[in-house]
């Protein structure tokens, strides 16, 4: 008798769990037609062969700087500073607010300090963003996709990253012992969204 009760209970539990698993909505890739990105449209066009680049504005200035303390000349010190901004960003918008389980970023270059923020605009409110904590501020190298857990309803996705140095276009001023290294944006092949 005990064995029959145990068997019935086991079958009942398995059938309830099976029904729950069948009712769970499968994840799908959000079609590129539902995504827009005004600054870098190539990253949401659905084509892994196209590449979009963050717009960078600025350069890194390197120079030797001396100082005088209490009338005594101090040794020259090497200084490096950013002129402009090291931060680059772009905004991707979904056509309607949607539950997104995760986002995959397909890099085409090194991406430094990559961070994602998600936003949703409530009626009569300003657009505000929340940080995606998964892999926040990572350095991406190579071309394999990187997956970020989002797990919430969103309407906008903001990607930020640090600009990269462009050593091929360095400008020198040998008389003043200065150099300027222009900044260039990181490159992405595609950003894919997965949800229900």
Flag whether pLDDT at 22 surpasses 50. Answer: no
pLDDT at position 188? 98
Q: Which of 42, 83, 78 is nearest to 63 (CA)?
A: 78
Flag whether pLDDT at 53 surpasses 50. Answer: yes
**Distance from C-alpha of 189 to C-alpha of 191, rounded to nearest angstrom:** 7
Q: What is the DSSP secondary-structure string of 112-159?
A: EEEEEEEEE--TTS--EEEE--TTTTEEE-SSS-EEEEEEEEEEEEEE
43: number of Cβ within 10 Å: 27
* Predicted confidence band of residue 2 (pLDDT cuts 50, 70, 90): low
Flag whether pLDDT at 96 surpasses 50. Answer: yes
How far apart, in Å, are the Cα atoms of 44 and each of 35, 53, 111?
6, 12, 17
Flag whether pLDDT at 13 surpasses 60. Answer: no
Flag whether pLDDT at 164 surpasses 70. Answer: yes
* Predicted confidence band of residue 21 (pLDDT cuts 50, 70, 90): very low
């Amino acid at each position: 008798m005990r064995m029959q009760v145990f068997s019935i209970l086991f079958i009942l539990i398995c059938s309830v769990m099976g029904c729950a698993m069948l009712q769970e909505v499968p994840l799908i890739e959000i079609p590129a037609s539902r995504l827009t990105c005004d600054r870098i449209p190539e990253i949401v066009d659905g084509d892994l062969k196209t590449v979009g680049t963050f717009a960078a504005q600025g350069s890194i200035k390197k120079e030797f700087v001396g100082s005088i303390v209490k009338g005594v000349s101090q040794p020259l010190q090497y200084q490096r500073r950013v002129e402009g901004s090291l931060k680059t960003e772009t905004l991707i918008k979904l056509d309607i607010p949607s539950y997104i389980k995760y986002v995959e970023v397909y890099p085409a270059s090194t991406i430094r300090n990559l961070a994602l923020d998600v936003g949703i605009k409530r009626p009569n409110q300003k657009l505000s963003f929340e940080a995606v904590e998964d892999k926040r501020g990572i350095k991406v190298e190579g071309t394999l996709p990187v997956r970020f857990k989002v797990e919430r309803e969103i309407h906008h996705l903001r990607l930020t990253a640090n600009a990269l140095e462009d050593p091929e276009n360095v400008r020198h001023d040998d008389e003043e012992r200065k150099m300027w290294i222009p900044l260039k944006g990181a490159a992405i092949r595609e950003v894919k969204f997965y949800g229900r």
